[in-house]
């Protein structure tokens, strides 16, 4: 290994004085110090080793894999995807981001890539799991799910679910008036037997709208979340002469103790207690509307970790269902709510908020068995089973792709030792100790002395006794020693062209962990560990928690060719929860379907992300008036010709996305138009 040496010029720079006449020992050469234990030889690295390092098969199967080129490939049809149907994600990103002049779509990153084929496969797998469980158990009814639109209200996601779910009578669940309006509109094109579940807090307008949906021949169920809502339903249904279908949400004793279990148990936000359920039944009976009560709903919480907890809650709810039948209600459906989890880290663990210890098939089997056992024991007809599995349906169908634009570490690098002739005079004693430890092979003491050296230098810098060049020289020496003794470089900060608050809000808000890995160069061995830092002027705009409990991520050196990272399994909630911190808007979006073209994919829709003007309007600013003000100012302070050029540049800025544009790829002529490209398909 190269010798470690520090050449010191004892002459103080102007304005800085040393405490005495200092002479430094001769340069130290760490000739016997081992290199870092990390093997820098990448020639034997392979894509399969990267797949194992990032556990892609664990959290990504059967939809994501690492291909022979070292890129992430997408298997749109899950385990049924043929080898020639796999889609190289990097090719999609290149096609989307390349300038139009080069045959690309001219979209700016960050980019959301949607795969409707994956969405279709998730729906089919969920239905198939319940169909198999029902057949195996000899269950006396069927399964038909609903999608809670709060998970992702994107128009095309919801429309796809209605279309793909039509053969299964798959419906929608709404929790607010706008969600109810979009659900009503979408279900007009769906299966007439599909359920429209109306959850959430309700006022007279919400209930009236739900009753109108019933009048429009939509299979609508108004679920009581609060006891007071029953009075509104009774009064309004009589006034409008519309007979409602009513459900109620039970507040179970079964509690999910994990992070996502706050809505479960007796202290949950929603639902009726046993006493409240009895009062609702009595009110409906007195109003002559007990036959309208047809559905029981409950929700244990998102990300239910085990089938044991699931079966316990379903069993308790089934008992309530049978009691409602005994009390005279015309019960038909048991709605088990959400909770079907996904395995974010691939650990298959029952003791984690980001994993689950069961498969789709095991989940369905546990539900069907629990309901059947209770109902058969009570001689109650097996009800239709409904679930609101949003996270499990939409999480896999989109990938957020973003670019690392640079890196930084905590120090300036070992090269500063050699580029600077300065070291502080009062630090010679620390330097002597460091030399003795190095010659003696005591590398732990070397690390201790370097830290002491750094701390003393910082204190002297604060007192004005050490200049900036000296401080940088000590930092460089410390880093060089760390590398020489095998401690390696400290974790780097990768600056990514992204807003965490806008695109991954759960990572900041509830410390949700998503799989994040490079989408290419996976045939190379990662040589650096890093955390991700976004563009926002906020220290919380970072990601330093990764799957498997890691506080940093294995990454590659950033070169001039672009370094792309992907966040996976984020198709639920993130887009709906995203804000406008620093006025960064949402990403660009492309929809990609598997095709028979040479690259196995077709882009069916491409939409640029919100422009600077768009996000300003969200905050009640008026970009048109802002531009006129700036234009007037330009003509007031700049010459006529230059003012026109300046105004033109200002106008273009309002029309561009707020994110960074790499200088190498900046092409004015290739910027995307602000209008969406409707009905266009590009095949590759």
Report the distance separating Cα 149 and Cα 642, nearest Å.
51
Decide if 666 contacts 653 (C-beta within 8 A): no
Decide if 389 contacts 197 (C-beta within 8 A): no
Which residues, 6 or more positions from 392, have their beta carbon under 8 angstroms from its beta carbon?
Answer: 122, 126, 340, 341, 342, 360
Alpha carbon dihedral 127, 130, 131, 137, in 10-degree steps, equals: 180
3-state class (DSSP) for residue 338:
coil
Report the distance separating Cα 36 and Cα 84, nearest Å.
41
Alpha-helix residue ranges (DSSP H) falling in 488-639:
500-503, 505-509, 574-577, 612-618, 623-637
> Edge-to-edge strands of the sheet including 87-88?
64-66, 72-74, 87-88
Using CB atoms within 10 Å of the CB of residue 525, give its burial: 0 to 12 exposed, 13 to 18 middle, 19+ buried: buried
Query: Which of 579, 573, 586 is closest to 342 using CA atoms?
Result: 573
Report the distance separating Cα 331 and Cα 340, nearest Å.
24
The Cβ-side half-sphere exposure at 23, using a 13 Å CA radius, reads: 1
Report the distance separating Cα 569 and Cα 60, nearest Å.
8
The Cβ-side half-sphere exposure at 37, using a 13 Å CA radius, reads: 1
537 has catalytic annotation: yes
Tell me 465's DSSP state. Answer: S
Structure tokens at 564: 């792309």
What are 507's strand-pairing partners?
none
What are 211's strand-pairing partners?
none
What are 403's strand-pairing partners?
564
Per annotation, catalytic residue among 151, 386, 537, 612 = 537
Report the distance separating Cα 429 and Cα 237, nearest Å.
88
In this structure, is the dihedral angle defined by the CA atoms of residues 423, 424, 430 and 433, taken in order, positive or negative? positive
Alpha carbon dihedral 662, 665, 667, 673, in 10-degree steps, equals: -80
Which residues, 6 or more positions from 25, have their beta carbon under 8 angstroms from its beta carbon?
Answer: 428, 431, 432, 435
DSSP of 230-244: HHHHHHHHHHHT---
Decide if 123 contacts 168 (C-beta within 8 A): yes
Q: Determine the angle formed by the axes of helices 204-215 and 229-240, rounding to 10 degrees.
A: 50
Catalytic residues: 537
């Amino acid at each position: 290994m190269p010798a470690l040496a520090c050449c010191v010029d004892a002459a103080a720079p102007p304005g800085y004085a040393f405490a005495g006449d200092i002479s430094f020992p001769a340069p130290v050469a760490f000739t016997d110090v081992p290199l870092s234990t990390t093997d820098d030889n990448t020639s034997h690295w392979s894509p399969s080793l990267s797949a194992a390092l990032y556990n892609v098969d664990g959290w990504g199967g059967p939809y994501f894999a690492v291909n022979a080129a070292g890129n992430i490939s997408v298997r749109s049809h899950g385990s049924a995807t043929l080898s020639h149907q796999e889609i190289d994600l990097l090719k999609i990103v290149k096609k989307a981001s390349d300038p139009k002049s080069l045959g690309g779509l001219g979209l700016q990153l960050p980019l959301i890539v949607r795969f409707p084929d994956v969405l279709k496969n998730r729906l089919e797998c969920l239905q198939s799991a319940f169909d198999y469980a029902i057949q195996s158990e000899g269950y006396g009814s069927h399964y038909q799910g609903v999608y809670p639109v709060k998970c992702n209200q994107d128009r095309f996601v919801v429309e796809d679910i209605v279309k793909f779910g039509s053969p299964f009578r798959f419906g929608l669940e709404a929790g607010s008036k706008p969600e109810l309006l979009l659900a009503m509109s979408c279900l007009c094109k769906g299966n007439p037997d599909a359920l429209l579940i109306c959850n959430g807090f309700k006022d007279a307008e919400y209930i009236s709208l739900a009753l109108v949906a019933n009048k429009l021949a939509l299979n609508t169920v108004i679920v009581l979340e609060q006891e007071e809502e029953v009075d509104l339903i009774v009064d309004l249904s009589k006034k409008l002469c519309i007979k409602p279908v009513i459900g109620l949400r039970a507040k179970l004793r079964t509690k999910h103790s994990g992070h996502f279990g706050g809505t479960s148990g007796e202290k949950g936000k929603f639902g009726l207690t046993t006493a409240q359920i009895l009062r609702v039944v009595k009110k409906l009976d007195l109003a002559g509307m007990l036959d309208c009560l047809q559905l029981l709903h409950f929700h244990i919480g998102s990300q239910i970790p085990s089938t044991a907890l699931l079966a316990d809650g379903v069993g308790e709810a089934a008992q309530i269902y049978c009691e409602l039948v005994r009390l005279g209600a015309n019960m038909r459906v048991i709605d088990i709510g959400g909770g079907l989890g996904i395995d974010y880290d691939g650990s298959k663990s029952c003791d984690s908020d980001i994993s689950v210890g069961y498969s789709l098939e095991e989940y369905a089997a546990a539900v069907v068995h629990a309901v059947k056992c209770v109902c058969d024991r009570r001689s109650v007809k097996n009800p239709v089973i409904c679930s609101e599995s949003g996270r499990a349906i939409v999480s896999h169908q989109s990938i957020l792709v973003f670019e690392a634009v640079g890196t930084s570490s905590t120090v300036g690098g070992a090269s500063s030792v050699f580029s600077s002739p300065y070291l502080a005079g009062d630090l010679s004693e620390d330097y002597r100790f460091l030399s003795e430890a190095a010659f003696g092979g005591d590398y732990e003491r070397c690390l201790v002395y370097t830290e002491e050296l750094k701390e003393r230098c910082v204190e002297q810098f604060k007192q004005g006794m050490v200049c900036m060049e000296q401080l940088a020289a000590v930092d460089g020496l410390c880093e060089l020693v760390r590398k020489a003794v095998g401690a390696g470089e400290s974790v780097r900060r990768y600056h990514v062209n992204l807003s965490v608050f806008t695109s991954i809000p759960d990572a900041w808000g509830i410390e949700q962990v998503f799989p994040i890995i490079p989408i290419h160069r996976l045939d190379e061995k990662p040589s650096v560990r890093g955390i991700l830092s976004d563009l926002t002027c906020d220290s919380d705009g970072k990601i330093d928690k990764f799957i498997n409990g890691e506080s940093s991520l294995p990454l590659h050196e950033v070169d001039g060719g672009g370094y792309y990272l992907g966040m996976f399994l984020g198709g639920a909630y993130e887009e709906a929860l995203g804000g406008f911190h620093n006025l960064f808007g949402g990403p660009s979006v492309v929809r990609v379907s598997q095709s028979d073209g040479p690259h196995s994919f077709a882009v069916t829709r491409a939409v640029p992300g919100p422009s600077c003007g768009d996000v300003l309007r969200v905050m009640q600013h008026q970009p048109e008036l802002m531009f006129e003000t700036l234009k007037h100012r330009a003509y007031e302070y700049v010459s006529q010709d230059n003012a026109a050029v300046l105004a033109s540049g200002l106008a273009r800025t309002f029309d561009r996305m707020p994110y960074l544009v790499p200088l190498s790829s900046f092409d004015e002529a290739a910027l995307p138009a602000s209008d969406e490209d409707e009905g266009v398909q590009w095949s590759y």
